[in-house]
């Protein structure tokens, strides 16, 4: 175990104990409010996945760093609680931008906002490499989808998230996310909630009825 990992574990431990945030990892922390940061991380990610040796190394490091994430996001990135999103197969650009948002306060979640302050750039890249090629496993508790959900998806969502819901470099993958996460998240966007502000999603779902919103969430939860 190297010093960095011990630092990381200590920070995580203090987080879990809800103790005042320890500054142990500040030397490792990058200026995450820099908007060019995401582009730079993505460049690193692309270089690593293109090189089999670097990829294997980052994957091993990512697995070590991701141990703590497994508690909530699950081993292999399929989340263990339905209010927690899967990270499996999520596109790396999205993972990086969300860390930026958690760090800057545009997106809020107690644990994630703290984590965004302590994960170094190398750790973010390694974790993204680790989760990026993990498959999404269909959940057993998916609610029944219906045609209404499909109609809403095809008229309002597919233009950005793609016909399969797999997203792209620019848009997140949403297919197969747990229903509870989808419903909660869409409601937050619709209501312009503090925890997910300044998002294009607010305009998209702003006028959607709650019934249609739940129908499309059921549909997306069932997309493979
Ligand atoms: C204590 C539980 C917990 C732990 C541990 C945790 N997360 Fe999270 N994470 C969450 C929750 C809950 C959300 C959703 C927050 C929301 O609803 O906006 C989230 C959201 C995210 C998101 C945004 C994904 C999306 O689809 O919107 C990323 C990226 C992420 N976490 C990465 C990580 C990584 C990497 C680790 C480990 C270093 C980690 N998380 C550890 C609970 C956790
Ligand atoms: C104009 C493009 C666009 C359209 C159309 C669109 N989205 Fe999005 N969606 C986005 C972007 C961009 C994000 C990332 C938002 C952020 O970072 O705040 C997002 C985020 C999301 C998220 C959160 C993902 C996560 O893991 O945190 C969900 C769920 C979602 N969209 C569902 C939908 C659904 C359902 C529809 C159709 C009703 C839809 N989107 C239509 C662009 C779009």
Please name each of the domains of the chain with its CATH number: 26-132 (1.10.760.10), 147-221 (1.10.760.10)
Residue whose CB lies within 8 A of the most ligand 2 atoms, among 79, 101, 160, 202, for a mutation test: 160
Whole-number pLDDT of residue 17: 43
Q: How confident is the model at residue 172 (pLDDT cuts 50, 70, 90)?
A: very high
Percent of residues, the chain, with pLDDT higher than 90: 73
Q: How confident is the model at residue 7 (pLDDT cuts 50, 70, 90)?
A: low
pLDDT at residue 13 tops 90: no
Whole-number pLDDT of residue 19: 32
Whole-number pLDDT of residue 28: 27
Averaged pLDDT of the chain: 86
pLDDT at residue 8 tops 60: no
Beta carbons of 24 and 11 less than 8 angstroms apart: yes
Beta carbons of 123 and 163 less than 8 angstroms apart: no
- Which atom from ligand 1 is nearest to the alpha carbon of 99? 29
Q: What is the average pLDDT across 104-126?
A: 92
Residue 30 makes CB contacts below 8 A (sequence gap 6+) with 37, 120, 121
**Partners of 196 in the β-ladder:** 107
Q: What is the average pLDDT across 181-187?
A: 98
Whole-number pLDDT of residue 150: 98
Query: What is the pTM (predicted TM-score) of this model?
Result: 0.89
Cα separation of 132 and 70, whole Å? 14
Query: Whose CA is closest to atom 13 on ligand 1?
Result: 84
- Which atom from ligand 1 is nearest to the alpha carbon of 65? 38
pLDDT at residue 207 tops 50: yes
Whole-number pLDDT of residue 32: 36
Q: What spacing in Å lies between the alpha carbon of 147 and ligand 1's midpoint?
A: 31
Which whole-number Å values give the CA distances from 160 to 5, 95, 168, 200, in the listed order?
Answer: 38, 17, 8, 11
pLDDT at residue 15 tops 60: no
Q: What spacing in Å lies between the alpha carbon of 139 and ligand 2's midpoint?
A: 21
Nearest to 182 by CA among 163, 207, 201, 164: 201
Q: Which ligand is nearest to the CA of 201?
A: 2
């Amino acid at each position: 175990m190297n010093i960095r990992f011990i630092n990381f574990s200590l920070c995580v431990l203090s987080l879990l104990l809800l103790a005042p945030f320890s500054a142990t990892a500040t030397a490792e922390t990058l200026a995450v409010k820099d908007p060019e940061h995401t582009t730079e991380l993505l460049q690193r990610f692309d270089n690593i996945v293109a090189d089999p040796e670097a990829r294997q190394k980052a994957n091993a490091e990512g697995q070590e760093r991701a141990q703590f994430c497994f508690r909530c996001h699950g081993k292999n990135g399929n989340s263990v609680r339905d209010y927690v999103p899967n990270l499996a197969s999520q596109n790396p650009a999205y993972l990086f931008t969300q860390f930026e948002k958690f760090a800057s306060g545009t997106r809020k979640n107690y644990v994630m906002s703290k984590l965004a302050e302590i994960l170094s750039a190398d750790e973010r890249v390694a974790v993204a490499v680790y989760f990026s090629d993990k498959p999404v496993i269909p959940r057993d508790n998916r609610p029944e989808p219906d045609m209404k959900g499909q109609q809403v998806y095809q008229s309002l969502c597919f233009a950005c998230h793609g016909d399969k819901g797999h997203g792209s470099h620019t848009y997140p993958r949403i297919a197969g996310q747990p229903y509870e996460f989808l419903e909660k998240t869409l409601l937050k966007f619709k209501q312009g909630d503090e925890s997910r502000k300044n998002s294009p999603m607010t305009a998209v779902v702003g006028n959607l009825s709650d019934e249609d919103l739940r129908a499309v969430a059921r549909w997306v939860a069932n997309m493979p």
